[in-house]
Structure 1
Amino acid sequence: MNRGTRAKLMLLGVLLPALAVADADLYRISWRSDPATSMVIGWNQVSGTSPEVRYDTVDHGQKAIAYSMRQTPDRVVAYREMTNHFVRLENLKPSTAYYFVICDSEGVGRRLWFRTAPATPESFTFIAGGDSRSNPEPRRRGNRLVAKFRPLFVLFGGDYTVYGSAQQWKGWLSDWQLTISDDGRIYPIIATHGNHENADLLMMSNLFDTPNPDQYFGLNIGGPLMRVWVLNSELEDKKPAAVPAQQSWIERDLPAHKDAQWKVAAYHRPMRPHTSAKAEGLSRIAAWAQLFYDNGMDLVIESDTHMVKRSFPVRPSEEEGSYESFIRDDAKGIVFIGEGSWGAPTRPRDDDKPWTMASDSFHQFKWIQVDSSEMLIRTVRFDHCNEVEALGDNDLFREPRNALFWEPDSGKTLRLPFDVSHPTYHRPME
């Protein structure tokens, strides 16, 4: 072997390991236990064997051997023509950045990172929306905005695709990669089951490794600062035997967390849709409305209708002055927001109530800032997403330049606790 050939072989030996890439894709992360100390890392394993997650609080890029911790998958599910792998990380540090790569027999994957939730009351932002369905362009615009707003998590209200087929889910998860920020930060999704997932009630479990296969659960964010209750509005039609168990659980869990400063509920189909063609949610009103009010629920996030709404604070009532089961109660009422439209075809807002604060119809999600004194809710339009500034980790509460916010007559920002005298509220002209 001559010297030139030997040199070429040595160079090839150096380059090949650097070029080897793990064959994993369709990344997603979620929570199934304490958001301050855990994270589920999910992906589709295309080929290769012996995959594992290597992770650390120090960024080692793609130098896999330098990561101090490693874990093999806790769960593998062949589903919708994907091989979904889930690693359930536990005993993490709160409010901490964790960097990770997926390694397998074929190499090392992309370096990504996430941040755990705080364990004590600290300010944070989150995004809430739903109903992306299979409209790729508006769906992608919303996803790109997630990467720019950099929330602590995304609360997704269901109806991800039209039928939940393999092709549609692979397309949805491919588009979800657009939510990853340029520096590789990936955001947890709290997944809600919608009626377009009714082909399989295990869909959320098999794709996001959710805490409960019947898709109802609660999570604390920031310790006692906020608790989120995710409920399944589809059990009544698809698994009626599970309805009493869900009801029994929420009746126990709400009073068990009475000390949560902010109480937030999310489910798919509204109690009182703001589109006239949609059926009223009478069973949900009967099961949850008074229960929510009695236990001090602050905010309810609904989807399904493909339009935009915010209500005044309301309480359940059939007294004089009430309308469709509710009456305005600024002092102790519940605020309802929604209703989907993360890309699904928009519907008319033709069923407002006397207690509706504002409504409209366009593609959007809610950007919600939470701290110990107030919750600020803004509706982000998906227009001109490419021109929107990307926030940095040091300025997560500032409105990004060029972001378009809904500005109804009542004002751009819905503030809780609600107070008509607060400058965020604009009293409509008489």
Structure 2
Amino acid sequence: MIAARASTAAWVLLSFTALACSHGASPGAAGPERAARQGPFVVKPYLQFGEAPRAGELAVVWHADDVDAGWAVDVRPDGESSWRPMEPPKFRRVAVAGVEPHRVYRATLRAGAPGGRFAYRVRDGKGADFEAEALAPKSASQPHRFAVFGDCGAGTPEERRIAHRTFEEKPDFVMIPGDIIYDRGRASEYRTRFWPAYNADRPAPDAGAPLLRSTLFVAAAGNHDIAARDLAKYPDGLAYFYYWCQPLNGPTGPEGGPLVAPVTGSPEQKKAFLDAAGEAFPRMANFSFDYGNAHWIVLDANATVDWADPAFRRWVEDDLAAAKDARWRFVCYHQPGFNSSRSHFDEQHTRVLSPVFEAGKVDLVFNGHVHNYQRSYPLRFAPTPVQVEAPAFDENGRMVPSHKSNGRLTLDRSFDGKDDTTPEGVIYIVTGAGGNRLYNPEQQDDPSSWQPFTVKHISRVHSLTVVDVDDSKLTLRQVSADGEELDRIVVTK
């Protein structure tokens, strides 16, 4: 993984010798949404990678009222009887219209031996404790399991069922390939449509599961997460940059440049956003990380990003080259380049980097955006240069004009994941059936409607992808909310 520069300037370090426990009212915007109280928490603790992850460490994040309190974090590795104090937490203040002012705290957990179980607790200055258990990140010599599902934070019964099934599958981490939250990536929407399902206190199909507190979550940003950039309309929008704590090691650039669309609003709204986001904006839209014996790249595939930009392409090339010792290489972004559904079929702009993925020996690409499951044949794609007009968007952040990408496809039809398990090319997975309304169920049993590159198309049930990685063998399963296995392949090296 390309090393991340330590970036803590925007986080306020708590000095416990100077804390004053004042519980007076905080000033806020007119008509904010009040958080449902969870003891001293606005949002209970959840696990993240952190801005500059190191071996054996995770970050714990929680939200609390905008008042000083004596927050502290401790860790107890499995088999030990005493708690180890961690460094004091830091926080960013979120004070934007639409939600009451609150603080997003972060502390580093030194989790102990790779793959080992540990307990952690978060304490305020008044004696209230939150305690949970988790696993330390796995090493390159240990097998690991991850789950992938996108297009999930819709506040639906199906979202909660997929959350519960994910909990039952016991992944080491969860990857979300975008559209984390609907409809416009707002802090107020996270309150009702995301945290309740994935950080529920009890695991049940009708409730969700306590996943976030016990399992590392990683996410790419989709159009519903960051495309609504008018703070005058959505002052608590772009909450992806407030609430996720992920590596800050990717490419960036100025607003209005090829990688960063402008954020609009009044000067006061813009300042409130930038203060709350800190160094996460805009850098956290693209990053890379290692887990076990695998290397991951997470990219912003929204059509406001110019994937043909030479600097962007070069960063992806260099990042993959630096990961030459990784056994497995995965890429995750929201909008699929290879999609057989009628929905979003024209959005093919991400195909432009297919040759880079092939040269960098990427094994699997995970996408969302299309609300179903699709698996491609292993493929290689040589784009044909075309002149494409600048895309336009409707009020929901959806691209309007065609953005097709022509080229030459080479398919490995001999690979079946059973008898032939060594693919020639990259396998593209669409796994956007995580909770929102399904797309194109009529196509599931109509292979004549699929593109030549598609070998599997499941669009009648919500589902998630579960991947087991063990040295030179990978097993991918697609699983329904009820636990039914819908697809399975094995990949070997």
TM-score, normalising length: structure 2: 0.67
Deviation at 1:280, TM superposition (A): 3.1
Are 1:231 and 2:303 counterparts?
no
- The alpha-carbon distance between structure 1 residues 345 and 417, as it changes in their structure 2 partners (threshold 3 A), is same
Bigger radius of gyration, 1 or 2?
1
Aligned to 1:71: 87
- The alpha-carbon distance between structure 1 residues 232 and 244, as it changes in their structure 2 partners (threshold 3 A), is farther
Cα deviations by residue, 1:271-291 (Å, 9 ceiling, x for unpaired): 1222223143443111x1000
Structure 1 segment 28-43 matched on structure 2, within 5 A: 28-32=46-50, 33-34=52-53, 36-43=55-62
Cα deviations by residue, 1:37-73 (Å, 9 ceiling, x for unpaired): 2111011114771212121214789xxxx41223322
Deviation at 1:133, TM superposition (A): 3.4
Q: What is the RMSD of the two structures over their aligned residues, measured on CA atoms?
A: 3.0
Q: Which of 404, 411, 416 is the matching residue for 2:491?
A: 416
Mapped to 2, the partners of 1:415 and 1:314 lie a distance apart of 16
Structure 1 segment 4-403 matched on structure 2, within 5 A: 22-23=40-41, 25-32=43-50, 33-34=52-53, 36-46=55-65, 49-58=69-78, 66-78=82-94, 80-81=99-100, 82-89=102-109, 92-160=112-180, 161-171=182-192, 172-178=194-200, 186-198=214-226, 199=228, 203-212=239-248, 213=280, 214=283, 215-222=285-292, 225-234=293-302, 236-237=303-304, 245-286=311-352, 288-317=353-382, 325-329=408-412, 330=415, 331-348=423-440, 350=443, 352-361=450-459, 362-383=461-482, 403=483
- The alpha-carbon distance between structure 1 residues 259 and 121, as it changes in their structure 2 partners (threshold 3 A), is same
Deviation at 1:168, TM superposition (A): 1.4
The number of aligned residues is 363
On the 8 A contact 1:22/1:107 being kept in 2, the answer is no
Q: Where does structure 2 lack aligned partners over 5 or more consecutive residues?
A: 1-37, 204-208, 230-236, 249-279, 385-405, 416-422, 444-448
SS at 1:289 equivalent: helix
- The alpha-carbon distance between structure 1 residues 241 and 220, as it changes in their structure 2 partners (threshold 3 A), is closer
On the 8 A contact 1:302/1:339 being kept in 2, the answer is yes
On the 8 A contact 1:42/1:84 being kept in 2, the answer is yes
Mapped to 2, the partners of 1:27 and 1:413 lie a distance apart of 34
After superposing on structure 2, the runs of 4+ consecutive aligned residues of structure 1 that deviate more than 6 Å are 179-185
TM-score, normalising length: structure 1: 0.76
On the 8 A contact 2:307/2:313 being kept in 1, the answer is no
Cα deviations by residue, 1:107-133 (Å, 9 ceiling, x for unpaired): 232210221122232111110110013
SS at 1:107 equivalent: coil
Q: Which amino acid aligns with 2:339?
A: P
Mapped to 2, the partners of 1:54 and 1:242 lie a distance apart of 46
Q: Which amino acid aligns with 1:250?
A: V
Deviation at 1:92, TM superposition (A): 4.4
On the 8 A contact 2:338/2:428 being kept in 1, the answer is no
On the 8 A contact 2:343/2:370 being kept in 1, the answer is no
On the 8 A contact 2:77/2:111 being kept in 1, the answer is no
Cα deviations by residue, 1:167-202 (Å, 9 ceiling, x for unpaired): 311121122113986899610101110000123595
SS at 2:62 equivalent: strand
- The alpha-carbon distance between structure 1 residues 202 and 119, as it changes in their structure 2 partners (threshold 3 A), is farther
Q: Which amino acid aligns with 1:266?
A: C
SS at 1:413 equivalent: strand
Q: Where does structure 1 lack aligned partners over 5 or more consecutive residues?
A: 1-19, 384-402, 407-411, 419-430
Deviation at 1:335, TM superposition (A): 0.6
